[in-house]
Structure 1
Amino acid sequence: MVIVLKMALCWVVLTLVLAAGEMEATSEESIIMSRIAATIGKAFEGCREETQLAPEIMKEWHQLWDYDLDVGAHREIGCTVICMGHKNALLDDDNTVHGDRMLDYIRTYENGDDLANKVVEEYSNCDKQYKDIEDDCSRVIKSFACFKTDVKKAGFAAYADMIKDMLEEQ
């Protein structure tokens, strides 16, 4: 009986150690995602003015990653995201993500190599779901809303509070 309890305790400890290691990797990827979002977010103010995004809809860029905000319900946010994507050279002329440029962009971040492929894959999967929406602003924000949900499930979503702090430091 004692041997069985010791073995069970070993399995519990091993499971906790493995889970902690997985959480640490997830946290690192979320931090990288937050850095990426903050860097892209530098273009927010100019794009918000350019697209006339009302402050009542979204006052600050970090709110896009707030899971209480239903971004998919706001076409106007999609227009602002398109503007920001172009200012960061991440979109093609047809307002779709340029996969190779996105990969290269994310790889410029420390430890971004593994994350780059995941981000492009997740976004591409979401983009395919909404490819039939003709209005670019609506398509982009629906794709982003899907992406935001999927990266949260996958464990590498950006942290809204961290993005806010990074933007305030700049």
Structure 2
Amino acid sequence: MGSCNVFVALVVLTVGVREIEPSKDAMKYITSGFVKVLEECKQELNMNDHIIADLFHYWKLEYTLLNRDTGCAIICMSKKLELLDANGRMHHGNAQEFAKKHGAGDEVASKIVQIIHECEKKHERDDDECLRVLEVAKCFRTGIHELDWQPKVEVIVEEVLTEM
């Protein structure tokens, strides 16, 4: 299994210069782009509702993601979005393009990739891929919160439901 980063991004999931809260807008679009492959992974991994709940509450810092299966789901989604390299690590170019495709400017997309890369380095030694990815996802979430770029959950749900 490969590594991913939440919502590259979980992840990932950013806008250069928009008028109102460009970074939050970008994270909203990146997250909803990431979630689009959730249904496929849900079927493939036979995911139950607790994983969906983990992903739904992902951006809430007080919600502790403890389920290993959530890391496996993030890996599955990242593979489908071609965000992993041959070694199962984040593919920097693809991750940056994914962010830009979903509204990020160069600067914001670069910052997202930088946060994910730093989080991957912190958790390099974790042997269990799903647990490692879960820790990287939590680290990424914290980094995005520190920048105050986290999207509102209600807005993401509305975006995803609108596109279904």
Please indicate the TM-score interval, normalised by the length of the shorter structure: 0.7 to 0.9
What is the match of residue 31 of structure 1? 25
Give, as a single letter, the amino acid of the residue that structure 2 aligns with 1:139.
Answer: R
What is the match of residue 48 of structure 1? 42
Unaligned runs of 5+ in 1: 1-23
TM-score, normalized by length of structure 1?
A: 0.78
**3-state SS in 1 of match to 2:49:** coil
Matched, 1:168 2:161: yes
Which deviates more, 102-111 or 118-127? 102-111
TM-score, normalized by length of structure 2?
A: 0.80
What is the match of residue 5 of structure 2? none
CA RMSD for the aligned pairs? 2.0
Which deviates more, 160-169 or 51-60? 51-60
Looking at CA atoms only, which structure, 1 or 2, has the larger radius of gyration?
Answer: 1
Give, as a single letter, the amino acid of the residue that structure 1 aligns with 2:32.
Answer: A
Give the 3 Å change call, closer, same or farther, for CA 97–111 of structure 1 in structure 2: closer
Structure number having the greater helix percentage: 1
Distance 2:47 2:148 in 1: 30
**3-state SS in 2 of match to 1:53:** coil
Give the 3 Å change call, closer, same or farther, for CA 50–66 of structure 1 in structure 2: farther
Which deviates more, 139-148 or 104-113? 104-113
Retained in 2: the 8 A contact 1:78–1:137?
A: yes
- Tell me how far 1:88 sits from its aligned partner: 0.6
Percentage identity across paired residues of the two chains: 23
Give the 3 Å change call, closer, same or farther, for CA 111–93 of structure 1 in structure 2: closer
What is the match of residue 75 of structure 1? 68
Unaligned runs of 5+ in 2: 1-17
From 96, 99, 103, the counterpart of 2:96: 103
